[in-house]
């Protein structure tokens, strides 16, 4: 159960600003675009594999801040999850993740490399009580029909409570988004395949979709993107979320024209 909470914080890649000639609608769905954003998310798990009558709800705040270091473009992201409902009945702050990606524009799209860290900020029972650190790498391509790519993050335990299990995970997130006009787009959800190196197997095998709507409320106002997602997790060898519904409100702060 504790690993499920960690998956929620590292699964979703950051959504970030107008960069490399992208319009705002495309950049809002591109995890390598240098777009400042602040988002509130709610993920509701309606049922679990191998655990009856169990539900879970996570409220999550995420801030993505682009910045320049030397001559390179970077994106920093902080994710803070708060559990309002768990199968054990606990609630409270879970572990945070801190992420930084250095991005490089290419004629075909963009690629990036960086690092992700796990911070044991959660309350007892909702924290891995481990510090984690590892590399991240990914790319997105921008053909005429939309956006596609892949993103990989890795968390390896570097310190923490020796009596608690280590956190040694790799995640793979496929990215696809297709614009449909008038601010609407559809594509993959933030579905993330998770490989547990200690268990030597994948422990999350999801398939998910999302529908997004970007609004332009008017001059002097902040653009907002609304997202609705659904995922089915096909990993059923242990206790794991099966069906997850997500709602996201993302406030965008473009820095380029």
Q: Sign of the CA dihedral 239, 85, 250, 246?
A: positive
- The first and second tokens of residue 78, run together, are 């902080």
Range 147-151 average pLDDT: 95
Instruction: For residue 85, give the CATH number of its domain.
Output: 2.40.160.40
Q: What is each CA distance from 35 to 117, 253, 256, in whole angstroms? A: 21, 7, 9
Provide the β-strand partners of residue 31: none
pLDDT at 224 over 70: yes
Please report which confidence band the pLDDT of residue 14 belongs to, taking 50, 70 and 90 as the band edges: very low
pLDDT at 257 over 60: no
Residue 237 falls inside a structural domain: yes
Q: How far is Cα 91 from Cα 78, in angstroms, rounded to an integer?
A: 20
* Predicted local distance difference test score (pLDDT) of residue 16: 34
Range 180-197 average pLDDT: 94
Residue 13 falls inside a structural domain: no
Enclosing domain of residue 84? 24-253
Higher-scoring residue by pLDDT: 11, 40? 40
Instruction: Find how far residue 95's CA is from the centre of its chain.
Output: 14
Residue 9 falls inside a structural domain: no
Residue 11 falls inside a structural domain: no
Residue 142 falls inside a structural domain: yes
In this structure, the strands spanning 193-196 and 56-69 are unpaired
Residue 99 falls inside a structural domain: yes
Residue 32 falls inside a structural domain: yes
Q: Is 159 exposed, middle or buried (0-12, 13-18, 19+ CB in 10 A)?
A: exposed
* Predicted local distance difference test score (pLDDT) of residue 241: 94
Range 252-256 average pLDDT: 75
Instruction: Give how many domains the chain has, as a whole number.
Output: 1
Lowest mean pLDDT among 61-75, 128-142, 147-161, 205-219: 205-219
Q: How far is Cα 27 from Cα 16, in angstroms, rounded to an integer?
A: 6
pLDDT at 202 over 70: yes
Residue 167 falls inside a structural domain: yes
Range 230-234 average pLDDT: 97
Find where tokens 């809002």 sit.
Answer: 28
pTM: 0.87
Lowest mean pLDDT among 10-19, 20-29, 161-170, 189-198: 10-19
Residue 51: in which H helix or E strand, if any? none
Q: What is the DSSP letter of 4?
A: H
Q: How far is Cα 247 from Cα 231, in angstroms, rounded to an integer?
A: 12
């Amino acid at each position: 159960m504790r690993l499920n909470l960690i998956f929620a914080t590292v699964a979703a890649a950051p959504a970030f600003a107008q960069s490399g000639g992208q319009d705002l609608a495309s950049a809002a769905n591109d995890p390598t675009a240098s777009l400042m954003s602040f988002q509130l998310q709610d993920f509701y798990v309606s049922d679990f594999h191998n655990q009856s009558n169990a539900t879970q709800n996570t409220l999550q705040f995420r801030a993505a801040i682009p910045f320049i270091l030397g001559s390179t473009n970077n994106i920093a992201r902080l994710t803070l999850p708060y559990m309002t409902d768990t199968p054990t009945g606990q609630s409270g702050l879970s572990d945070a993740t801190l992420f930084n990606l250095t991005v490089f524009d290419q004629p075909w799209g963009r690629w990036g490399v960086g690092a992700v860290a796990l911070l044991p900020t959660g309350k007892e029972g909702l924290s891995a009580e481990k510090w984690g650190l590892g590399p991240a790498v990914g790319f997105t391509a921008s053909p005429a029909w939309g956006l596609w790519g892949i993103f990989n993050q890795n968390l390896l335990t570097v310190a923490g409570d020796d009596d608690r299990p280590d956190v040694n995970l790799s995640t793979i997130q496929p990215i696809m988004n297709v614009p449909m006009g008038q601010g609407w787009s559809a594509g993959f959800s933030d579905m993330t395949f998770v490989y547990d190196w200690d268990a030597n197997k994948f422990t999350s095998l999801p398939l998910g979709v999302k529908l997004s709507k970007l609004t332009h409320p008017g001059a002097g106002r902040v653009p907002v993107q609304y997202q609705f997602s659904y995922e089915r997790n096909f990993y059923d060898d242990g206790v794991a979320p099966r069906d997850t519904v997500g709602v996201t409100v993302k406030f965008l702060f473009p820095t380029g024209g």
